[in-house]
Amino acid sequence: MTQKLTAKPIIKQIYSNLIFEIEKFHLSPKLVIIIIGDDPASLYYIQNLEKKGNKVGIAVETKKLPASISMKILLNEIERLNKDGTVHGIMIQKPLPSHINESEIIMKLDPKKDMDAFHPLNIGNLVLNKEGFVPCTPAAVLEILSFYNIATEGKNIVIIGRSNIVGKPLANLLLRKSKTGNATVTICHSKTSNLKNVTRKADILIAAIGKALFVHSDMIKYNAIIIDVGVNQVEDAEKGYKYVGDVDYENCFEKASAITPVPGGVGSVTTAMLLKNVLIACKNLS
C-alpha cells in the first residue's frame, strides 16, 4: 500500500520545538519580508507565513514596496534592515520586477540574516559542508526523508530541475556523508536526453521543474519514492483554480511506494523550515 508522506506530523513537531526554545530562552525572533508589487500568490503565501509565525512566537513583518521602486531605494532599505538589531531574518519575496537585479539584491543581504540562504557565502558553506543556513525547500525535503526514515545511502536519487533554489543545493545535500546523504544523485533538466529512461531508474524521484502534473506513472519505476516539490496554480471547474504539484499524483499513486501530496507536503514543511532558520538566526545574533 502506498504511503502518503504528509507534512502534518512533521510540522507539528517542528513548531512544538520552536515554541519550546523561544519560551525557554526568552527570545523575540523577528522576520521581515520584502514584497515588491502585488502578486496574489505571493501575498497569500506571506499571509500564511504571518499566521504561522504568530502562533509560534516569531514576529513576521511585511514591507510592501511599489513595483516601480528603484534599485537604489531597495538597496538602502535592505541595508537599513541589515543594521537593525531587532531584525534577525530578511526574506525577499519573488517574483521580482524585471528592472530589479536579483544578484545585486542577494549580495546586499547580510548572510547572517539571509533566510532563503541564497547568498554566495551560505551556498559556499553548504557545498563545503560547513555550518550555515540551508535553503528552505531542500531542507524540507531532507526533513521529510528523515522523519519517515527513508534511507538514502547508496540509493539512486534523480532530481528533475537544476535551479539554484532547489535542484543544485539539494543535490549537494544528498551527497553529504550523513543520514540523509550518501546517495548517487542525478540532476535532469530541459536538455536531458531520454528523460524517462533516467527517471525510471530512480529509487527516489524528486520533481522540482515547475510544470504542473509533468511526471506521469510511465516515468517512474514500481515502488519508487516520489517527492513533489512543485506548487502550480491550475484552473478548476468548481473553485476557479486549485494547486497541484509537478507530479500527476492520482496517476502515480498506485505505482509508487510513497509519495508527497500537494498541498500538504513539501510546501508546508518549507514554511516551517524558514521559521526555524529565523530562530537559528536570532540565537546566533543574540
Do 263 and 243 touch, CB atoms closer than 8 A? Answer: yes
Same domain, 86 and 204: no
33: its cell numbers: 519580508
182: its cell numbers: 550518501
- Which alpha helices (DSSP H) does the chain contain, by range? 8-24, 40-56, 71-83, 102-108, 120-127, 136-147, 167-175, 195-199, 249-252, 266-285
Same domain, 147 and 255: yes
Residue 121 is part of which domain span? 26-131+269-285
The angle subtended at Cα 41 by Cα 35 and Cα 45, nearest 5°, is: 70
DSSP assignment of 45-59: HHHHHHHHHHHHT-E
Residue spans of the chain under pLDDT 50: none
Q: CA–CA distance from 121 to each of 9, 40, 66, 75 (Å)? A: 33, 31, 29, 19
The pLDDT value recorded for residue 237 is 81
* Distance from C-alpha of 23 to C-alpha of 19, rounded to nearest angstrom: 6
CATH at residue 182: 3.40.50.720
Same domain, 103 and 166: no
The pLDDT value recorded for residue 52 is 96
- Phi, psi of 243, rounded to the nearest 5 degrees: -105, 135
CATH at residue 79: 3.40.50.10860
Same domain, 49 and 158: no
* Model confidence pLDDT, tens digit, residues 109-141: 999 999 999 999 999 999 999 989 999 999 999
14 occurs within a structural domain: no
Same domain, 38 and 83: yes
The pLDDT value recorded for residue 12 is 98
Q: CA–CA distance from 23 to each of 31, 53, 59 (Å)? A: 17, 14, 14
Say whether pTM exceeds 0.75: yes
Pairing of strands 240-244, 232-236: antiparallel
Same domain, 151 and 192: yes
Q: Structural domain tally of the chain?
A: 2
